[in-house]
């Protein structure tokens, strides 16, 4: 395992160093404009740890409290997928800095596309949740019956 770790770490460190060298090659001549790039780099983990993760965690706790057991997993999955798809649609929906519109690129209607996709996702959540709820109900009833006999 030791050899394996060394074989991974050495090219890793070399790539890391090369990337840092390339980055300095861009950032140093472009200073102080490149400060914004550094903020972008350092900002993302902060946004994740301070905003995205706590919000996701609290939403998960809230759903676990409010949603009955058979529905919990489908609703949590639906909520996660909604967040991911909204995140992916965001650059298409928000375009004050976008390039001039080109035929065949970004000339669909991403807002409607997102809503339709989310409707499909929540339709599947509804079907899965209903099936699980019905199955759970049947299990309870059959267990009840087997206890009577």
Our finding on whether 28 is near other proteins (CB under 8 A) is no
Compare residues 85 and 133 and give the one whose CB is closer to other proteins: 85
What is the DSSP code (8-state) at residue 52? I
Our finding on whether 55 is near other proteins (CB under 8 A) is no
Burial environment of residue 78 by CB neighbours within 10 A (0 to 12, 13 to 18, 19 or more) = buried
Considering only residues 28, 29, 31, 94, which one is a binding residue for other proteins as defined by CB under 8 A? Answer: 94
CB contact set of 133 (below 8 Å; sequence gap of 6+): 68, 70, 71
Compare residues 5 and 145 and give the one whose CB is closer to other proteins: 5
| Cα gap 121→116, rounded to integer Å | 9
What is the DSSP code (8-state) at residue 102? B
Of 95-124, binders to other proteins (CB under 8 A) are 95, 97-100, 102-108, 110, 112-114, 116-117, 121
Task: Give min distance, CB of 148 to other proteins, in A.
Answer: 29
Our finding on whether 69 is near other proteins (CB under 8 A) is no
Cβ–Cβ < 8 Å for 87, 52: no
Task: Give min distance, CB of 131 to other proteins, in A.
Answer: 15
Task: Give min distance, CB of 138 to other proteins, in A.
Answer: 21
The residues that bridge with 102 in the sheet, in sequence order, are 105
């Amino acid at each position: 395992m030791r050899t394996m770790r060394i074989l991974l770490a050495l090219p890793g460190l070399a790539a890391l160093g090369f990337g840092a060298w390339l980055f300095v090659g861009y950032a140093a001549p472009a200073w102080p404009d490149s400060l914004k790039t550094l903020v972008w780099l350092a900002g993302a983990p902060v946004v994740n740890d301070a905003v995205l993760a706590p919000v996701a965690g609290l939403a998960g706790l809230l759903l676990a409290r409010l949603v009955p057991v058979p529905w919990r997993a489908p609703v949590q999955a639906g909520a996660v997928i909604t967040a991911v798809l909204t995140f992916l649609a965001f650059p298409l929906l928000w375009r004050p800095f976008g390039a001039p519109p080109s035929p065949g690129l970004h000339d669909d209607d991403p807002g409607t596309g997102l809503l339709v996709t989310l409707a499909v996702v929540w339709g599947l959540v509804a079907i899965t949740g209903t099936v699980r709820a019905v199955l759970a109900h049947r299990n309870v009833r059959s267990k009840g019956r087997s206890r009577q006999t």
